[in-house]
Amino acid sequence: MQINVDRNRCEGHGLCEERGPRVFALDDDGELIHRFEGTDVPAEYETEAAAAVAACPVVALRQAGPTR
Ligand code: SF4
């Protein structure tokens, strides 16, 4: 699966980092770091990636592509 980020929506709440710390992080300026932007999230991280998508309060994260 891939996760797309709408950076215009992201407000830096950091819930995605809390739920999916191996996929998402916030930098020192509160900007979202998506470690697998434009590429597949490794299979072993998919569960936490999906939890992060579900947790984002502003729906800035969207799951794209097939789930294995
Ligand atoms: S939870 Fe949503 S709004 Fe918050 S940092 Fe992550 S993507 Fe951005």
Please choose, from the candidates 45, 37, 39, the residue with its C-alpha nearest in 3D space to the C-alpha of residue 68.
45
| Distance from residue 1's CA to the centre of ligand 1 (Å) | 18
What pLDDT digit, counting tens, does each position of 9-58 carry?
999 989 999 999 999 999 999 999 999 999 999 999 999 999 999 999 99
Q: Integer distance in angstroms from the first to the last C-alpha of the chain?
A: 7
Query: 42 lies in which domain range?
Result: 2-64
Looking at residue 14, which CATH number applies to its domain? Answer: 3.30.70.20
Per residue in 25-38, pLDDT tens?
999 999 999 999 99
How far is 54 from 44, CA to CA, in rounded Å? 18
- Which residue's CA is minimally distant from atom 4 of ligand 1? 13
- Number of domains observed in the structure of the chain: 1
Q: Which of 11, 22, 23, 28 to mutate to test the pocket of ligand 1 (most atoms within 8 A of CB)?
A: 11
Atom 2 (ligand 1) nearest CA: 56
The answer to whether 1 and 41 are in contact (CB under 8 A) is: yes
Q: Measured between alpha carbons, how far is 37 from 51 in angstroms, rounded to an integer?
A: 17
